[in-house]
A and B are shown apart, each in its own frame.
Chain A
Amino acid sequence: MSTTPETAVPAEETAGHGDISVGVPGAGAEFGAGSGDAAASATRITPGNALRPEDIALAVSRGTAKPSDDAAEYALRLGDDALILAQRLGHWISRGPELEEDIALGNIALDQLGHARSFLSYAGGAYAKDGKPGKTEDDLAYFRREPEFRSVEIFEQPNGDFAVTIARQFVVSYYQYELYRRLTESTDATLAGIAAKAVKEVDYHRDHSAQWVLRLALGTDESREKMIHAFQVIWPYVDELFRDDELTARLAGTGAAVEPSSLRADFDRLTGEVLAEAELDVPQVKAAPGGGRRGLHSEHLGYLLAEMQVLAREYPGATW
């Protein structure tokens, strides 16, 4: 992608090719107080080093990370939760209540998508059997049908207004935090690794949603009403998050995971503190039966998947 010499563009002007030169000597320091200290720049950017979905996929394809069938099924659950949430949150980018919030929700969506990709890449490793290759994150995301998804119902609940999105965020981030915090000590090294990265990010999601719960609940009469309504809409789906089943019992037995019910006390205590500060009661609503872990979803998921999968399914086998 280099410029032809004939175009006679001065070196510092050859724009748009990866490492862009901005044509300003020491431009990185331009934000500074003119100290000329390029190292002090507030624009110095680095990719950082963290466990990425690509690393998991590589480890899986090399066979250095190989989930047990149970661990794979479990990773599928957590991956689906995060994927469906990312799909929902992505809708807010360009529609937020303020531009700053477009960016905040975008960051959260990207975090969730990253977790989803890691969990799904890991889960895909279990399909490598009898000489068959494993499944990729995309095989799992785009080519499973609705009953094969293992996410619980709260994640697929529609965005609603900003209050509903925040209510859903509030519940899932406090849940995910308690879960990932414990999973960092999983006997399954890959689950522990994914959780160690995710728990820090989800910690921020907790803070983000709690800040908004306070503001909406204690802001204006209108916002308070909307916040209360939003919790009424979302709270029926809380119970399902904490339901144990045979899979979680087996995984808890080996120390690879924890029983969801064991997270409930901390969840109740910490969300309760925020709700109390927001002068809100814990919603008294009837719990929905839920069935997401067994592939029984609310009516919303089908539409979400139809949209998410449409292009990939139009061109099966294509790469992008």
Chain B
Amino acid sequence: MASQPLQSVPAEQTPAQHEQSLEDAARRDAEGQAYFDKVMADDSRIEPRDWMPPAYRKTLVRQISQHAHSEIIGMQPEANWISRAPSLKRKAILMAKVQDEAGHGLYLYSAAETLGQPRDQMMQDLMDGKAKYSSIFNYPARTWADMGAIGWMVDGAAIANQVPLCRASYGPYGRAMVRVCKEESFHQRQGFEILLELSHGTPEQKQMAQEAVNRWYAPALMMFGPPDQDSPNSQQSMAWNIKRFGNDELRARFVGMMMEQVKVLELTLPDKDIRFNEETKKWEHGPLDWDEFHEVLSGRGPCNAQRLERRREAHENGAWVREAAVAYADKQSRKQAQKEFAA
């Protein structure tokens, strides 16, 4: 890749040739940077084989793979209720929803692969606990109402985050997000409808719904990431047209949407401080416990160990299957080659 400067003097080069190739590399980098800057200024797109600053590539790999991991780990709290869904219709919806999340993980891993990062490496990093994923999926889905709260608030927050990402400057990421956002369109609605059913159901059902909303509210707001002033990466991502809006901006919008929607649900948000600030024209919310956020993110949440163990288990239990398929493919292509040779 043009972005990697030459490291050592290849044996067949004279010192003068080596000088020359260093110069060439520097010139390519300078040209590349100029082209990259123009793409950013024009709000155009970078494609996989374009020159890109190493830090841009690194940021993308990190962000896209974290996003992919979140989709995959995020399957677990909901998969937990597939077997117990209280009606066959809800069972079908939930299965399709969790299945979609697997698809989202796949689209995103593919986007990250265009940057030279193989999927199995990303998966390994996840299982080794080296990679991060959205901390919200480390909370347990305690009741059926959590399926509603997750769909409405967690998918809702994810969508609010993801829609601007459809215009991310890295082409494959933006395209993956377009597909994801199209599929997400039913996730939030089905969650909302679960809560609506519950809140209009028996008193116990309504209470179940309210408790789920109470539990998922703060973690959902924290999905937008730390406040902008504590989020140094955020600034750079905006300069690179990866992110389009700051964390606080997106969070405030989300709070505004929730406030409207929660009325339809006839439930409340567990935050007395929510208000619309007439001066700034922005929604404001109460303080969030960022210490807890960092605790959970760093591995000390209620389900961190369980989530990773489950992923490892699936991966390890599947190893012999993946191996068998590779071995079969090899045998088949050898057979094919022999046939062609004989013909």
Contact = CB atoms under 8 A, between A and B. Distances in A.
B290 interface: no
Contacts of B90: 320
A161 B82 CA distance: 20
A22 B256 contact: no
Contact of A102 (B82, B99, B164): B99
Interface of A: 1-4, 6-9, 13, 15-24, 27-28, 30-31, 43, 45, 53, 83, 86-87, 90-91, 93-103, 106-107, 109-110, 113-114, 116-117, 120, 137-138, 141-142, 161-162, 214-216, 218-220, 222-223, 226, 307-308, 310-312, 315, 318-320
Contact of A4 (B163, B256, B310, B321): B256
Closest 5 pairs (CB-CB, A-B): A97-B318, A219-B324, A223-B324, A16-B159, A97-B321
Contact of A7 (B76, B155, B256): B256
A3 B257 contact: yes
A218 B320 contact: no
Nearest to B316: A97
Nearest to A307: B83
A114 B83 contact: no
B197 A319 contact: yes
Q: Looking at chain A's contact residues, is the secondary structure mostly helix, strand, loop, or mixed?
A: helix
Contacts of A308: 83-84
A93 B167 contact: no
Interface stretch (B4-12, B170-178, B218-226, B294-302): B170-178
Contacts of A223: 320-321, 323-324, 327
A307 B314 CA distance: 21
Given A15-B160, A15-B181, A99 B105 contact: yes
Contacts of A312: 86-87
Contacts of B246: none
A318 B184 contact: no
Contact of B95 (A15, A113, A137): A113
Contacts of A99: 72, 102, 105-106, 109
Contact of A16 (B188, B283, B320): B188
B92 interface: yes
Contacts of A120: 88
A204 to B, nearest CB: 16
Interface string B181-211: 1101110110010100110011011000000
A218 B326 CA distance: 11
A216 B86 contact: no
A93 B98 contact: yes
Contacts of A318: 86, 201-202, 205
A23 B155 CA distance: 18
A138 to B, nearest CB: 5
Contacts, number: 223
Contacts of A161: 317
A106 B182 contact: no
A109 B95 contact: yes
Nearest to B90: A320
A1 B159 contact: no
B281 interface: yes
B88 A226 contact: no
Interface range on chain B (Cβ under 8 Å from partner):
35 or more
A15 B323 contact: no
A226 B198 CA distance: 45
Interface in B256-315: 256-257, 259-261, 264, 276, 281, 283, 310, 313-314
Interface of B: 72, 75-76, 79, 82-92, 95-96, 98-99, 102-103, 105-106, 109, 144, 155-156, 159-160, 162-164, 166-167, 174-175, 177-179, 181-182, 184-186, 188-189, 192, 194, 197-198, 201-202, 204-205, 252-253, 256-257, 259-261, 264, 276, 281, 283, 310, 313-314, 317-328, 331
27 contacts: A4-B257, A13-B164, A16-B160, A16-B184, A20-B159, A22-B181, A27-B178, A28-B178, A91-B82, A93-B98, A96-B314, A98-B318, A98-B322, A106-B96, A106-B98, A110-B92, A113-B95, A116-B88, A117-B89, A120-B88, A142-B86, A218-B328, A315-B204, A318-B201, A318-B205, A320-B197, A320-B201
A90 B82 CA distance: 7
B283 A7 contact: yes
Contacts of A311: 84-86, 144
Contacts of A138: 87-88
Contacts of B91: 86, 90, 113
A219 B181 contact: no
A269 B174 CA distance: 50
A17 B152 CA distance: 10
B321 A20 contact: no
A315 B202 contact: yes
B181 A31 contact: no
- Residue from A86, A106, A117, A162 with most neighbouring chain B CB atoms (10 Å): A106
Contact of A215 (B179, B264, B318, B325): B325
Contacts of A307: 83-84
B290 to A, nearest CB: 24
Nearest to A140: B88
A215 B167 contact: no
Nearest to B92: A113
Contacts of B184: 16, 20
Given A30-B174, A219-B323, A97 B87 contact: no
A22 B178 contact: yes
